[in-house]
Structure formats: C-alpha cells, structure tokens
Amino acid sequence: MAQKQINFDYDLAIVGGGIVGATLAGALKDSGLRIVIIEAQPLEVAAARKRAYAISLLSSRILSGIGVWEEILPEIGKFRHIRLSDADYPEVVRFATGDLNTDFLGYVAEHGIILKSLQNLIAQCPNINWLCPAEVMGVIYQESGAEIKVKVGEEVSEVRVKLVVGADGGRSPIREWAGIKTHGWKYWQSCVTFIIKHTAGENETAFERFWPTGPMGILPLPGNRCQIVWTAPHKEAQGLQKLDEKEFLTKLEYHTGGLLGKLEMVGDRFVFPVQLMQSDRYIQSRLALVGDAAHCCHPVGGQGLNLGIRDAASLAQILLQAEKKGEDMGDIRVLKRYESWRRKENLIILGFTDILDRTFSNNWWPVITVRRLGLWLMNNLPPIKIFALKLMTGLKGRTPQLAR
C-alpha cells in the first residue's frame, strides 16, 4: 500500500526565539528550508532582557558567518586582557592578545543588541516565519514528522513539521514532554548580576576573581561600564541584592581590589540560582535540543551562552549536509551526528566549570595549596596557559564551518 503523502507546513520548527534559537534560524537563512520560530513573548519583550554575556572568539566567528557581527561589533565591549586571581593572593595569571595573535580575547554584549540584530536578519528571510507571541500546548511525534499544537491568542492550531528543535531554556517543556531526563545538581550558590560605571582609565580587561564564597566575573562594556556576575551562597547573594547601595558599593570595591576606581550602580541587581545540568540525550526521532534545553553550567568563565551558540551552528551544519544528500533531517541517524559532536564537547566544559568553582570556592588549605600551584604553573608553563586560554575562548574542539 502506498504511504499517505503528508503536507508539512514547515521543514523545521524552532521552539524558543531567544539568542540560541534565532542563531540557528540565522545559520539556516540561505538553506531554502521552511522554518518557523515559535516564541512565547512578543519580539520586543524577548529582546528587552537586562543581561550581558561574554562572547567567545568562536561565537564571534559564528555570528560573523551568519552575517550579523558587523552590526553588533560597534555596540559591544571588547577585551584584550584577562586577569585570573585567587582572592588577595599576589600570583595573578594575565592573558593578552599576543598569546593567541588575535585583536581581542573576547567580547561582552548586552542581550538586546545580539537578539535585535538576529531578529532584523530573520525579518529579511522569506523562508523564516515567526509565531509570536505563541504558546506550545503539546507535540505529537510520528514516524514521518511531528504535529505541534500552538495557541496564538485564543486560537489553537496544529503545525506540521519534519523536525522540532527545543531551544526553550533550562526548564524546557519540549524536553519534558519528550520524556528526556536530565542529570546534574543545584549549587549552594546564586549569582548577583548587575552593571556598574567606573572611573578606571582602561576598560579592556576581563577579570575573574575567585573568592572562597564563589567567583566574581567582571566584564567590560562600552561607556566605562562593566557587567558583574558575583557568585555567593544563596543567603549571602540575597543579602547582597537587598543591601543599601552605598554599603553594597563599599563591599564591591573591596572585592574588585580597587582596580576599577570609583564605582556607580547602573540599574538593578538581579539574583538567580546556579545549577549544572546535562540531558541524558540531546535527540530523539524528530527532535533535537540546543542551548539550555540540553545543558546548563556554572557561569564561571562565561561559557553558558557560547555553548548554545555552538550547538546552533553545529546543528545547522548537520542539517544542511543532510539536505544536500537528500536525507530526512528528522531521521535519528542524521540527528545522532549532532549529538555525538556536541554532547561530549559540552560535557568537557561542564566539568571544567564545575572543577573551577569547587576548587576555588573553598577554604580547605590542601585545596588552596593545589589551586595556587595551578596558578603558578599556568603563569610559568606557556603550553598550559595557551591550552586554558583556547578552552575559554572556544578554540578547542571541532569548529563549525560557519566560523571558518
């Protein structure tokens, strides 16, 4: 009996129109694939999130390959130096552009700048549509495709696709409905994130200052501003959020070692708990997970969003190759190529950030001795230093074609 022909509305549905989901769509802009992005929030609301991210060298090259980097670059922070330090211990590891022969070691971009550029690009692509704001009510996976029940306003309709991509964050309903389990743990810490202005004469250095209570990342933004991610035990983090501004800035000046001069708050302080999570699998037939839907890591080193951008570029490459070969993009054999590429690489970074946090958020003297020896070795053995720097900047591992 002849198989019934199914009329698909789209080839691909991306559930979640944040930076990772939009990066995937942008990476497929010239593919000819019919793509729909299903996003719960209006586009302007999705882009209004008050957050800034470290953008690695590899991520910048991926965004350049998509065609948005030239628009983003003038609006973001850039750093030529990285300083790693252990509280007040005098041994400081300094990285510079000469270590990699690059113009910069990384970038710092506010959420809205990246996402608006991607939204603008997508708006020019006739093969990509938005369903927004829209709520996914459920997904039915079948042998030849998937049916997504979507609520737009008061109307509920079905969208038929060959492949569903879950880019809907750490609490991903797409992952949960698929029955994909996760492993990991919640840390004893939360992060306080905020932006400050400072009076330091130089604003081209990213700092990672480790304290027994948790790491502090200081990332330069334009206009002598910095995004700070201050990790501390939950109660202490909540206390820092509520602290009187003057007292908070006094504490902050101590923890930044006076390196930034006089400090001034810009905006509010936000707190979020930290967790490590790895999905048991990133795929099943007709489904792939990217970004926080697949994995989450400690924010030390600013790796989280960069892993998601790499997921998106890698999945796009696999799908493009499958399309050229005439393969079914939702077939499990195609999707396994993506999972085998990204799951192992992500696990290395998850382990790296976990070890960093546990080793430095510690007052036990044998661990203190070991970590300070590690800093000394990194400073005095160039191969170790370059390896660590390449790992932090995304230059270790397989490079997606978009970034070449």
Query: Do 168 and 280 belong to one domain?
Result: yes
Domain presence at residue 333:
yes
Please tell me the total count of domains within the chain.
2
205 and 256, same structural domain? yes
Residues 118 and 54 in one domain: yes
Question: pLDDT in tens for each of the 404 residues of the chain?
Answer: 333 344 579 999 999 999 999 999 999 999 999 999 999 999 999 999 989 999 999 999 999 999 999 999 999 999 999 999 998 888 899 999 999 999 999 999 999 999 999 999 999 999 999 999 999 999 999 999 999 999 999 999 999 999 999 999 999 999 999 999 999 999 999 999 999 999 998 999 999 999 999 999 999 999 999 999 999 999 999 999 999 999 999 999 999 988 899 999 998 999 999 999 999 999 999 999 999 999 999 999 999 999 999 999 999 999 999 999 999 999 999 999 999 999 999 999 999 999 999 999 988 999 999 999 999 999 999 999 999 999 999 999 999 999 98
| 62 and 210 housed in the same domain | no
354 and 212 in a single domain? The answer is no
What's 263's domain CATH number? 3.30.9.10
What was the pLDDT predicted at 271? Answer: 97
Instruction: Write down the pLDDT at residue 328.
Output: 97
Query: By residue range, what is the domain housing residue 328?
Result: 10-77+108-184+276-403
Indicate the residue type of 376: W
**116, 152: one domain:** yes
For residue 88, being part of any structural domain is answered with: no
- Read off the CATH number of the domain in which 155 is found: 3.50.50.60
Check whether residue 62 and residue 196 sit in a common domain: no
Q: Indicate left, alpha or beta for 373 from its phi (over 0: left) and psi (-120 to 50: alpha).
A: alpha
Residue 194 and residue 169 share a domain: no
Which pLDDT score is estimated for 291?
98
Looking only at the bridges linking them, the beta strands covering 182-198 and 225-233 are antiparallel
